[in-house]
Structure 1
Amino acid sequence: MRRGKLTLWEATAVGLGNIIGAGIFVMAGSAINLAGPGALLAFIITALLAMSVGLNSAEMASAFPSVEGGVYSFARLTLGDSVGFLVGLLRVVSYIIGGAAVALGFSGYLTSLDAPRYLIYPTSITLIVALSILYKAGLKIASEFEKYLTSINIAGLTIFIVAGLIYSGPLKTSHFKPLLPHGLFGLIESSSLAFFAYSGFNTIATLTPSVKEGERNVPKAIMLSLAITTVIYILVVFTMLYIAPWQLYGTRPDPLSFALEEARAPMAIRLTVSSVALLSTFTVTLSMIIAGVRTMEQMAYDNVIPRSVARDNRSLLIVTIAMLISLALGNVETLGLVANFGVVFSYITTPIAVIVIRRRGITGSFKTPMYPILQILAIILSLLVTSALGYKSLEIGAMTLIVGILAYELHEEFNLIEKRHHNSVAKD
């Protein structure tokens, strides 16, 4: 029996499934650490950026409905192979470093169940290696878990919110003062980190051909899924601040577990929330490995990197080793900010790509409203978020871009030499 197209609410559910995940379980404490109570505003600012990028991506997906590879493919088709290569490279780096951050989150919640804290890094290493070994089986594991993960995550976050408000006693207004202890820059930096918790929102834009009245319903689904997510995230952050002063959270990889402990919630509730966080971080670590490998294989297929990378699990080996090395970058806050450089950089190219296709006269079933104001807004917000990612993130991002440009030029030179050789042989 042929499956019909997705309804608006089904598309919204897909969006929620791609957004609500390990990010909020791992990064909420660090977002509070950077902005204090202003983290509540940070999640709203990030949602506005996500909405603007999502709508631009919806137009790109509508204009190129049969194209796979998402942001990478859009950049390659509109801005050329060299820009596409850089976007793809930075996406792979983001998946790798983001996977390391989520693996630390898994270890943090595991050790919160009365395991020694010194096991956080050894456990993260073990998790990454184990999931890489099970990569092929992991494709099925991830898809099976993802069917139910959205409901489980929302249930876990709801339990956290209700339990936190019940067991932590009366509201202490001192927990919410001052609003911006680190000033405006702290707010922007927190917004930069909060973007990690919205990772995956862009996937919904690629569903346009599969959604009933996609031209009208996909933009609505993007707005709805991001609005629902933002409300949930703000309630989580509010509950954390309700329970304890912002100064206590620091860069812990298990902030929700720590908050429930501070609230003296029953062990059963703490175990439930920690178990949900463990399932979420386990599945997302696996998904990051899969996404990194698949992006590299797509790039090899497009011949912007050597085709040999896609053979004999070489891409999997590269992703695994790089993810293990990434653990040395530091805590979840640092890893999250570094991972976001590639994500935000790639999203800067999306509104530019929309401007390019408009000028070329390429249109699909959906056009973003308020052109070109929305595109300019997306670019400005992306640059603002990028500027606050921190020294280490910008340094690693800049190095990746430089190395990427050199690697691409060498690859193109090698292809040119090989082409000349083939032409010479053909003439002989």
Structure 2
Amino acid sequence: MEGKKLSLAQALAIGLGNIIGAGIFVMAGVSITAAGPAALLAFLITALYAMSVGLNNAELSSVFPKVEGGVYSFALLSLGETIGFLVGWFRVIGYAISGGATALGFSGYLITTFSLPSYLYFPLSIILIVILTIIDYLGLKLAAEIESVLVILNVIGLISFSITVLIITGLNIYNFSPFLPHGIKGVLIASNIAFFAYSGFNTIATLTPSVKNGERTVPKAIIFSLLISAILYMLVTFSMVDAVGYKVFSTTSAPLQLVLANIHAPAIVYFFVNLTAILATVTVTLSTIIATERTMMQIESDGLLPKIKGGRKTILVIIALIMVASLGLGNVEAIALASNFGIIFSYMLSGIEVAVVRHRGLKGVFRSPGFPIIQVVSIIMSGIFMYSLGSQSLIIGFITLLIGLVIHSIHKEIFKKEGILLKRTYN
């Protein structure tokens, strides 16, 4: 069985596949629009926040190396059934919606790059979801090997973009002035936007039981993935502002292509970056399916979902159907606000969870440095990020939370499993 487990490189590839994905091809432009050149500062702030949460999750994955639910399992084992279910509830919703959205990104880039008819927009997304669900079903090892190849191409594409831009345009310091055209508020908005480009590192935490020496390897993969993605994000953002300034990105959802067109980059580079964007949507969608499946299976195993007939196969079919259904939502962005709320909600709890497991005397081979300062910073920054989501997101988030509480209460009443769940999970 050990030979079938993932290596550090493969776990890192799956994590990077969910971080360095479609987000950078859209989020960088939106962040620059919100903050101007200070988007660089926004990506740095967000990297520090993500690292604080990443250190929390790294310690928790080391303390609980046998669970597959990631932040859901950490919340369950440290804070109890109700909080655990709510975190799992938010994560499954968020994963499913974002998976559908990135599948649409795949079809959009594919149609644009190869001049395909627009009526293929939804069919191509459905085909992608079906193919990637089958790949996941065939085995995590196969999925990891595919992710490893695609992630390398993604990294090469982003580095090629930045080098090409800097060689053609040189260093244009005047494009970085004024540095804060929209003030601190703009930086906060951009940081919130950038945060969702980093948030995929939790996927790695769901892999711990399937990774060689998982309690040691997964913390390394989480930290390395955040360091690599932070460097790449800031390099790409710097080269974008350096090339064309910050005022031109508000009208496009493909900012890297806009930059390359403006500087008349070689056709081969333009095509390769477009291809990289397509591959990025594939890696994110596949990583999302993997994380959703493992989270749902762990929730079912813990007894917080009714037993699903057909097991893993049925769960994958359910996930695929939810993702396909989300393609037809009239306003995916508004509904995605609930998943945004849920991501920050789960990350805010991570600092508390570390404090709880340490108080209980539970130790893994990795311990977060700077305790309890890192944990307090992660909680405070989570609060700031949640506040800056805005009232609409908070309302949708709280409504989703209440729905989750009702579902959990009904389930507990029907199955009467209080006091049994945690004992079984610890064993």
Identity of aligned residues (%): 45
Deviations 1:169-227 (A, max 9, x none): 35444432322222212212211121222233234456778567966x76565444423
Other-structure match for 1:423: none
Residue 353 of structure 1 corresponds to which residue in structure 2? 353
Distance in 2 between residues matched to 1:5 and 1:315, nearest whole Å: 26
- When residues 271 and 317 of structure 1 are mapped into structure 2, their CA distance, relative to the original with a 3 A threshold, is closer
Shift in alpha-carbon separation, 1:223–1:414, aligned structure 2, 3 A: closer
The alpha-carbon distance between structure 1 residues 251 and 50, as it changes in their structure 2 partners (threshold 3 A), is: farther
| In structure 1, distance between residues paired with 2:357 and 2:3 | 32
In the alignment, what sits opposite 1:307? 307
Alignment match, 2:90: 90
Change (3 A) 1:8 1:291: closer
Equivalent residue letter for 2:131: L
| Structure 1 equivalent of residue 157 of structure 2 | 156
Is 1:65 aligned with 2:65?
yes
Map residues 26-425 of structure 1 onto 2, 5 A cutoff: 26-113=26-113, 115=115, 119=118, 123-134=120-131, 136-139=133-136, 140=138, 142-167=143-168, 169-204=169-204, 222-250=222-250, 252-308=252-308, 312=314, 315-316=318-319, 318-326=321-329, 328-330=331-333, 339-416=339-416
Checking the alignment, whether the CA contact within 8 Å between 2:45 and 2:191 is kept in structure 1 is: yes
| 8 A Cα contact 2:130 2:320, kept in partner | no
**What is the CA-CA distance between 1:166 and the residue it aligns to?**
2.7
> Residue 379 of structure 1 aligns to which amino acid in structure 2?
I
Conserved? CA contact 2:19–2:200, under 8 Å: yes
Letter in 2 for 1:126: P
Question: Could you tell me which amino acid in structure 1 is paired with residue 70 of structure 2?
Answer: G
> How far apart are the structure 2 equivalents of 1:145 and 1:4?
15
Structure 2 Cα separation of the partners of residues 309 and 26 of structure 1 = 39
Counterpart in the other structure of 1:420: none
Which range moved further: 62-71 or 287-296?
287-296
Change (3 A) 1:264 1:57: same
How far apart are 1:387 and its partner, in Å?
1.5
Report Cα offsets for 1:100-141 as digits up to 9, x if no partner: 33234324433443748x94xx65532332234335423157
Q: Once superposed, what is the RMSD of the aligned Cα atoms?
A: 3.3
2:424 alignment partner in structure 1? none
User: What residue identity is the alignment partner of 2:123?
Assistant: T
Seen in structure 2, the aligned counterparts of structure 1 residues 129 and 203 have a Cα distance that, compared at 3 Å, is: closer
Where do 5+ consecutive residues of structure 1 fail to align?
Answer: 418-428
Residue aligned with 1:247, SS: coil
Q: 2:157 aligns to what SS in structure 1? A: helix
Asked if 2 retains the 8 angstrom alpha-carbon contact of 1:193 and 1:337, the reply is no
Task: Write the letter of the residue equivalent to 1:282.
Answer: V
Question: What's the TM-score, normalizing by structure 2?
Answer: 0.84
How far residue 328 of structure 1 moved from its aligned partner, in angstroms, is: 2.2
Q: Distance in 2 between matches of 1:221 and 1:144?
A: 16
Query: How many pairs were matched up?
Result: 409
Q: Which moved more, 1:407-416 or 1:140-149?
A: 140-149
Deviations 1:380-427 (A, max 9, x none): 11111122223443232222111111111122222249xxxxxxxxxx
Assess if the C-alpha contact under 8 Å between 2:103 and 2:285 holds in 1: yes
Deviation at residue 347 of structure 1 after TM alignment: 1.2
Amino acid aligned to 2:327:
L
User: Any idea what the Cα deviations from partners look like across 1:30-83, whole Å, max 9, x if unmatched?
Assistant: 111221111101111111111111111122122112122111111111111111
Query: Contact conserved, 1:244 with 1:259, CA < 8 A, in 2?
Result: yes
Q: Which moved more, 1:335-344 or 1:371-380?
A: 335-344
Identify which range, 408-417 or 348-357, moves more after superposition.
408-417
Q: 1:214 to 1:299 in 2, by over 3 A?
A: closer
SS for the counterpart of 2:359 is helix
**Greater CA drift, 158-167 or 171-180:** 171-180
Contact 2:39 2:190 in 1 (8 A): yes
Give, as a single letter, the amino acid of the residue that structure 2 aligns with 1:50: A
Distance 1:6 1:81 in 2: 30
Counterparts of 1:310 and 1:7, CA distance in 2:
29
Paired letter, 1:129: I
**Which residue identity does 1:160 align to in structure 2?**
F
Equivalent position SS for 1:134: helix
Contact preservation (8 Å) 1:29, 1:249: yes
> CA, structure 1 residues 354+369, in 2 after alignment: closer, same or farther (shift >3 Å)?
same
TM-score normalised per structure 1 = 0.84
Counterparts of 2:89 and 2:213, CA distance in 1: 34
Q: Once structures 1 and 2 are overlaid, which stretch shifts more, 219-228 or 355-364?
A: 219-228
CA contact (8 A) 2:51 2:226 kept: yes
What is the deviation of 1:366? 2.3
